[in-house]
Chains A and B, each alone.
Chain A
């Protein structure tokens, strides 16, 4: 029998291009903040689930073992979960198994990333995700898959770069109100269009930055959660699926693996009409077009219709479906695994009415966080309710 699982506390560090703290220190700060917020100490935590993306950023193999003391995991059941960029949202899904299964009543979920150690640029680590025989000899960079996917998406649905740029404008603008944000700014569509082309059609301001940072949440069983707080946020639906690494054999205009993950989470949460029932969403936005792509995969917009929704203001904080009120990866920053967890934290704060200047206008009762990753192949989705 599956048990209901709640989030009872959240915390995060600043997100910056380069931080002094080690991965252990960042993990400690985020975890301690989440524990304090929940009114718990480490003694109250029964298990720990951690998430961090490629070891290649740090140059530290067995990173999960390296950082675990910073995550409060000494002598406790600890597991590190990993699905590339999807890891941040997969981490609380891993925690959900721990608690929903009846194994534990409390679980600390921590996601950490330091991209800055790798020189000359963290992008270099992504070279090694491509097929070593057929793709790497062509001089690959991760930006290729995004620019190729963005072009296909634009071509299939007749979407303009200017419409996509609206996402960057909105998210960087939202991030101005986030105290941890790395790139909050009030910019215009023109600024995005005139920014330096990197991998056309991708331009500098279409992309989230490399970052360092950590974020954490505490999960609890229903019985424990109700003792701790009057405002538990229920993790009512979780879903995740992966496609193969044969990304060049796939329809790049539509993320079917995200649709599958979303449908799994919606079914679990009893959601029949996502567009009507989801009040606030944090889809994964490492690039501006990805927010649109994911809104469609998540069934929150029809195929090819997310751009119009954005242009019409539906996804603004005061719109009918606020999207990335945090500022997203484009504005808050993108320390890979920690960025996905930041989205979980944001929905937690939004549903508790604690988001301050970022609080969405509508009375948000149901929220969604989603991450994506690897070679265009991973979808991780959670549905949360106040």
Chain B
């Protein structure tokens, strides 16, 4: 604030005001429902997940193997060329121990979350997923992990067909 300005506008509603209902408001709950088509590339990706496989798209110009797959290469700006099966193992690029859920409420059991660089894809091609079967204190960047799949009859063609990634047995 400039020292030339001597008063500042704004009236705070304090936590006490909220508790005591000392301000007027209107409350409304918005409950829309959406159905998102998964798209050309991701529909195939999800279908393959249902079969217990992770697939990528390859661009023949830059030679990158892209996960998540896309039908166009955003760098070469041309259609990608072929489907490639990659491995269901990878490396922890980074991780976090999350004590809060989507709406910022505290969780009883923390969620373990990581970016996992997928083996067989180009370097740095990671996906977001959860980690499991590991003590939080034992997780490290660079750790090798493998997918733990749902049983085939439980899979739905969703990212959650992989339950989580767990440390690879050496």
Question: Which residues of A approach B to under 8 Å, CB–CB?
Answer: 10-21, 26, 29-30, 33, 37, 59, 116, 120-121, 123-124, 127, 131-135, 137-141, 143-144, 147-149, 151-152, 155, 178-180, 196-202, 213, 244, 246, 248-252, 345, 349, 352, 354-356
**Chain B residues numbered 1-59 whose CB sits less than 8 Å from any CB in chain A:** 1-5, 8-15, 18, 23, 28, 30, 34, 36, 38-39, 42, 46
B127 at the A interface (CB under 8 A)? yes
User: How far in angstroms is the closest Cβ of chain A from B116?
Assistant: 8
B62 at the A interface (CB under 8 A)? no
List the A side residues contacting B141 at CB < 8 Å: 151-152, 155
Whether A121 and B94, one on each chain, are in contact in the complex, defined by CB atoms closer than 8 angstroms, is no
**What are 29 A-B contacts defined by CB distance under 8 Å?**
A13-B8, A18-B12, A21-B9, A21-B10, A21-B11, A33-B9, A59-B28, A120-B104, A120-B105, A123-B103, A123-B104, A124-B102, A133-B38, A135-B128, A138-B159, A141-B104, A143-B98, A147-B96, A148-B114, A151-B95, A151-B96, A179-B1, A199-B98, A199-B99, A200-B96, A201-B96, A249-B126, A252-B93, A252-B94
Whether B13 and A19, one on each chain, are in contact in the complex, defined by CB atoms closer than 8 angstroms, is yes
List the A side residues contacting B12 at CB < 8 Å: 14, 16-20
Whether B99 and A26, one on each chain, are in contact in the complex, defined by CB atoms closer than 8 angstroms, is no
B87 at the A interface (CB under 8 A)? no
User: How far in angstroms is the closest Cβ of chain B from A209?
Assistant: 12
Total residues of chain B contacting the partner, CB 8 A: 56
Whether A121 and B104, one on each chain, are in contact in the complex, defined by CB atoms closer than 8 angstroms, is yes
A1 and B34 alpha carbons, distance in the complex (Å): 48
A354 and B2 alpha carbons, distance in the complex (Å): 5
A356 and B125 alpha carbons, distance in the complex (Å): 49
Apart from A13-B9, A14-B10, what are 20 other A-B pairs with CB-CB below 8 Å? A19-B10, A37-B5, A121-B104, A133-B159, A134-B68, A134-B128, A139-B102, A140-B128, A144-B98, A148-B113, A152-B94, A179-B1, A246-B68, A248-B93, A249-B66, A249-B125, A249-B126, A252-B94, A252-B115, A356-B1
A19 and B36 alpha carbons, distance in the complex (Å): 36
Whether A18 and B104, one on each chain, are in contact in the complex, defined by CB atoms closer than 8 angstroms, is no
A248 and B124 alpha carbons, distance in the complex (Å): 8
List the A side residues contacting B23 at CB < 8 Å: 20
Whether A18 and B8, one on each chain, are in contact in the complex, defined by CB atoms closer than 8 angstroms, is no
Whether A180 and B1, one on each chain, are in contact in the complex, defined by CB atoms closer than 8 angstroms, is yes
Question: Which residues of B approach A to under 8 Å, CB–CB?
Answer: 1-5, 8-15, 18, 23, 28, 30, 34, 36, 38-39, 42, 46, 66-68, 74, 93-105, 111, 113-115, 124-130, 136, 141, 158-160
* Given A134-B128, A152-B94: A244 in contact with B74 (beta carbons within 8 A): yes
* Given A18-B18, A120-B105, A355-B2: A133 in contact with B42 (beta carbons within 8 A): yes
User: How far in angstroms is the closest Cβ of chain B from A177?
Assistant: 10
A69 and B33 alpha carbons, distance in the complex (Å): 32
* Given A59-B30, A120-B103, A148-B95: A138 in contact with B160 (beta carbons within 8 A): yes
User: How far in angstroms is the closest Cβ of chain A from B58?
Assistant: 14
A181 to chain B: closest residue by CB? B1
List the B side residues contacting A151 at CB < 8 Å: 94-96, 141
List the B side residues contacting A123 at CB < 8 Å: 100, 102-104
B38 to chain A: closest residue by CB? A133
A110 and B165 alpha carbons, distance in the complex (Å): 46
Most A CB contacts (10 A, CB to CB) among B1, B125, B130, B159 go to B1
Whether B8 and A143, one on each chain, are in contact in the complex, defined by CB atoms closer than 8 angstroms, is no
List the A side residues contacting B103 at CB < 8 Å: 120-121, 123-124, 127, 141
Whether B115 and A148, one on each chain, are in contact in the complex, defined by CB atoms closer than 8 angstroms, is yes
User: How far in angstroms is the closest Cβ of chain A from B100?
Assistant: 6
List the B side residues contacting A30 at CB < 8 Å: 9
List the B side residues contacting A141 at CB < 8 Å: 98, 100-104
A29 and B10 alpha carbons, distance in the complex (Å): 8
User: How far in angstroms is the closest Cβ of chain B from A140?
Assistant: 6
Whether B11 and A19, one on each chain, are in contact in the complex, defined by CB atoms closer than 8 angstroms, is yes
A120 and B158 alpha carbons, distance in the complex (Å): 28
Whether B2 and A197, one on each chain, are in contact in the complex, defined by CB atoms closer than 8 angstroms, is no
List the B side residues contacting A148 at CB < 8 Å: 94-96, 113-115
Whether A355 and B3, one on each chain, are in contact in the complex, defined by CB atoms closer than 8 angstroms, is yes
Whether B99 and A354, one on each chain, are in contact in the complex, defined by CB atoms closer than 8 angstroms, is no
Most A CB contacts (10 A, CB to CB) among B18, B23, B30, B102 go to B102
Most B CB contacts (10 A, CB to CB) among A33, A137, A149, A248 go to A248
A149 and B141 alpha carbons, distance in the complex (Å): 12
List the 7 closest A-B pairs by CB distance, nearest first: A14-B10, A147-B96, A356-B3, A29-B9, A121-B104, A123-B104, A152-B94
* Given A18-B13, A355-B3: A138 in contact with B128 (beta carbons within 8 A): yes
A120 to chain B: closest residue by CB? B103
A37 and B159 alpha carbons, distance in the complex (Å): 54
Whether A121 and B10, one on each chain, are in contact in the complex, defined by CB atoms closer than 8 angstroms, is no
